[in-house]
């Protein structure tokens, strides 16, 4: 099993949007989740740190929610980017999404000391509104499911980017 994404969508986010605690490549304290294509599905791999526990031996649910959150925004970004004729690594800046609604069902305790694999299926429900269904595996065991609605990043975030630039 391939356990690393080669071309991740997060690698192509503009620098101003690469600070996310979950998936921003420039956030030195963050998780650095990376999401790419695996055929028509999306994948994110992550090996939780020792401190990311709920109780000893099992992964913290908030970490799983975080993984599914960034996996979902990244998956929608991949899908809209592909719809626009682009692929990660081709030098074009991908669209950015934010999360409108996050649902995670925890099916089984998720064991530590293994790499987690999130597998996503993306559906467009509106040009600016996408839905991502995720299955989270630890080894071959399905431990959690995600159902996340994301929207193209609204102008309020863009305005903030402009303010940030103006203040520099």
Which residues in this chain contact a second copy in the complex, by CB under 8 A?
16-17, 19-22, 27-30, 49, 51-58, 60-63, 65-67, 69-70, 98-106, 109, 156-157, 160-161, 163-164
CA distance 143 to 82: 29
- On whether the CB atoms of residues 136 and 145 are closer than 8 A, the answer is yes
Q: How far is the CB of 35 from a second copy (least distance, A)?
A: 14
Nearest residue (CB) to a second copy, 3 versus 105:
105
Q: Return d(Cα 15, Cα 27) in angstroms, integer.
A: 11
Comparing CB distances to a second copy, the nearer of 88 and 146 is 146
Q: How far is the CB of 34 from a second copy (least distance, A)?
A: 15
Query: Which residue, 65 or 119, has its beta carbon nearer to a second copy?
Result: 65
CB distance 14 to 93 below 8 Å: yes
> Phi then psi for 151, rounded to 5 degrees?
-130, 150
As a whole number of angstroms, the longest Cα–Cα distance in the chain is 49
Rounded least distance, CB 96 to a second copy, Å: 8
């Amino acid at each position: 099993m391939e356990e690393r994404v080669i071309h991740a969508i997060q690698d192509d986010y503009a620098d101003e949007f690469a600070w996310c605690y979950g998936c921003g490549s420039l956030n030195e304290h963050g998780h650095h989740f990376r999401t790419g294509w695996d055929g028509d599905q999306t994948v994110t791999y992550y090996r939780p740190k020792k401190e990311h526990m709920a109780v000893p031996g099992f992964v913290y649910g908030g970490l799983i929610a975080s993984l599914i959150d960034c996996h979902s925004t990244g998956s929608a970004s991949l899908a809209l980017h592909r719809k626009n004729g682009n692929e990660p690594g081709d030098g074009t800046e991908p669209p950015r999404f934010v999360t409108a609604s996050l649902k995670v069902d925890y099916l089984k305790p998720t064991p530590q000391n293994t790499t987690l694999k999130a597998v996503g299926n993306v559906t467009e429900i509106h040009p600016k509104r996408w839905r991502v269904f995720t299955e989270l595996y630890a080894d071959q065991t399905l431990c959690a499911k995600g159902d996340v609605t994301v929207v193209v990043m609204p102008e309020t975030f863009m305005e903030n980017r402009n303010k940030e630039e103006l203040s520099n």
